[in-house]
Structure 1
Amino acid sequence: MSRLPRLAGVTAAALALGLLATAPAAGGEPSVSDPRIVAHFNFAKGQTPENIALEPDGSADLTFAFARQVAKVTRKGDKRILATLPDVANPDTPVGAAVVTGIARAENGTLYVNYVTGTSKTGIWRIAPDGSAPKQIAKLPRDGFPNGLALDERRGVLYAADSLRGTVWRVPRKGGTPTAWATGAALDPGTGPEASGFGVNGLRFHHNAVWVSNSDAGTLLRIPVRQGGSAGRIETRATGLTGIDDFGFVERHRDTVLAALITDNEVVRVRPNGTHTVVLTEDDGLSNPTSVAVRGRSVYVPSAAYFTQKDPNLLLARVHQRARR
């Protein structure tokens, strides 16, 4: 999620940054085709899909940020609300409301979500597969903004990106006290007149490293997980990604990323060398895309319509490898 002054209209200028010159596509790269909208949502009801996790059957679990809900959407577009986070009196957040942001799914079907309230309810919440009420398992600073979320099943830990505090938190999967796992200038929000105030944002666990985006800096970063579990040196893997939100990795293409650029209404393919190419645009149906999930030959892109305020939706497309010349 990029910072929003309430749910009302905002300008995309908040995250405007210079673009990195993109390189032409090379043979053998994954390409994206056949985009189609499989589900439309109700903006007025707060159905703004912020983040995504995939079910084994290909259904998408989406966080509806301003509705405080988690919804399951099938590949055919059928929708079902899985959980609603508790209402909070007098929320105190930069977006003017309590919002549900990042989501992660465990192999046993348990869902974990970040809930931002500006109160003691800010933190990580667990949604059990049995349909019981969501339960808070970790408190995060009430003046923070936990955004992207990922689970490392092997180590049994969750990582959460705090966009306001420039911190990646680490929390035991079973719950407990959070640890400031990674900090540094590369994760901090910007301070200039064009800055949104959101630094580290999207987060994915990939090949024994935590990858994050920094929205204000327009960067994609990699943080290795050392043998003992501590954070390694922060590596910059790509720059010039204006308004980057969350992202996903293309299978069988090591370290190739599809990233959502929320203010430009684009999804870009980011190569391992850091260059990038636009693969989806608003002409395909994007309306402020927030995140990306990839499985096999399918790519899912939720659009929250935060700035356009038109047609929040879920887009499904095909991803495949180009023939080499």
Structure 2
Amino acid sequence: MFPYRSTRLRRRATTLGLAALLTAVAATPAALAAPVPAHHPGHSAGTRLSDVRVLAHFDRSAGQAAESIALEPDGGVVIGMIPAREVVRVAPDGTVQSLVTMPLPPDGGGTTPVIGIPVVTGVARSDSGAMYFLYSAGQGGLTGVWQIRRAGPPRLVVPLPADTMPNALVIDRTRDRFLITDSTGGRIWQAPLRGGRASVWSADSALAPSGFFGANGMKIHNGAVWASNSDRGTIVRIPVARGGGSGRAEVRATGLEGIDDFDFTGRGAEILAAINQASKLVRVGADGAQETLLDAEDGMQGTTAVVVRGNRVYVTNGANLAGNDPTLMLAELRRR
């Protein structure tokens, strides 16, 4: 999640919440034709995208700024909606179903770190089919990892301190644990997958913010945890020690100011990165070289998250600052 895109807006972050920004822009979604051809021919030998299309439009007037993605086996997609405090499912045919909406905390969530409104952020699905999401409410007993249940309200399985801003949620299947980025604290937390107490897994200085949001997106890849830092415009790699602890972070890519989420393409350490501030999807090579694959002309509007499954690429656009049409987009991944 990266709800503000400029230095000027960052300075206002403590007094102007995301909700105010969302209401400041007209909420009439634009009708996008599908498929939308990517307009960047002549790519280098790396990955390219084709058959880019909108799978689902969301209701911006209701606060449905799409933030995060968890894939389901049948091709469905579960998405966290930040100011709506909502988790939705998008069926393979594009039908949108609301799964849960979190209630406002007693104080309205005004103590939520940085943004001043309660938000749902990261989502994750376990191998057993359990669905989890993050809620940041500025209050202990509400902020943390929640589980969606088939019957009844969601339940809090991992409480986090009230001053944290949990953002990305990843399940480490090798060690049966959650990993959670804390954007304001510049940390990665860990907690048992069965639920319980969280502890700090890494507080490496490479995760720290430089005035606004630090650690943001996160993935596990080839024996390491990778995380983006929105303020610093970096992607860092943190090796996982033999006992499961964290090693020293190594910066693997720079120059990505406003980066939100990212994912690996299946070509070694090649990455697709969602750049929220610039509304674009960028290919980052293993050597750190960068190439824009999709931008505003392709329908990118406040791009927040990307997930790769085989030859399919799912991208969410929050339209939180750019544009007024939050969407889930689908593209075909072509590797050269």
TM-score, normalising length from structure 1?
Answer: 0.89
After TM superposition, give the deviation of residue 247 of structure 1 in Å: 0.8
Distance 1:210 1:198 in 2: 18
Q: Deviations over 1:275-315 (max 9, x none)?
A: 11000111111110101011011101111111125001111
Query: Residue 248 of structure 2 corresponds to which residue in structure 1?
Result: 233
Query: Residue 188 of structure 2 corresponds to which residue in structure 1?
Result: 168
Distance 1:282 1:318 in 2: 18
Which of 257, 260, 267 lines up with 1:242 in the alignment? 257
Verify the 8 A CA contact 1:210 1:225 in the aligned structure 2. yes
Superposed CA RMSD in Å reads 1.6
Kindly provide the amino acid, as one letter, of the partner of residue 208 in structure 2.
Answer: D
1:34 aligns with 2:51: yes
Query: Residue 132 of structure 1 corresponds to which residue in structure 2?
Result: 152
Verify the 8 A CA contact 1:9 1:309 in the aligned structure 2. no
Distance 1:57 1:114 in 2: 23
Which of 101, 105, 109 lines up with 1:84 in the alignment? 101
Alignment size in residue pairs = 302
After TM superposition, give the deviation of residue 208 of structure 1 in Å: 2.1
Query: Residue 184 of structure 1 corresponds to which residue in structure 2?
Result: 204
Query: Residue 8 of structure 1 corresponds to which residue in structure 2?
Result: 20
Query: Residue 280 of structure 2 corresponds to which residue in structure 1?
Result: 266
Larger relative contact order, structure 1 or 2 (CA cutoff 8 Å, min sep 6) = 1
Query: Residue 21 of structure 1 corresponds to which residue in structure 2?
Result: none
Verify the 8 A CA contact 2:146 2:154 in the aligned structure 1. yes
Query: Residue 144 of structure 2 corresponds to which residue in structure 1?
Result: 123
Query: Residue 312 of structure 2 corresponds to which residue in structure 1?
Result: 298
Verify the 8 A CA contact 2:204 2:248 in the aligned structure 1. no
| Structure 2: gaps spanning 5 or more residues | 5-15, 25-41
Match of 1:286, SS? coil
Q: Deviations over 1:147-171 (max 9, x none)?
A: 0110011210010000000100011
After TM superposition, give the deviation of residue 132 of structure 1 in Å: 3.4
Query: Residue 58 of structure 1 corresponds to which residue in structure 2?
Result: 75
After TM superposition, give the deviation of residue 3 of structure 1 in Å: 4.3
TM-score, normalising length from structure 2?
Answer: 0.86
Distance 2:154 2:218 in 1: 22
Q: Percent identity?
A: 40
Query: Residue 334 of structure 2 corresponds to which residue in structure 1?
Result: 320
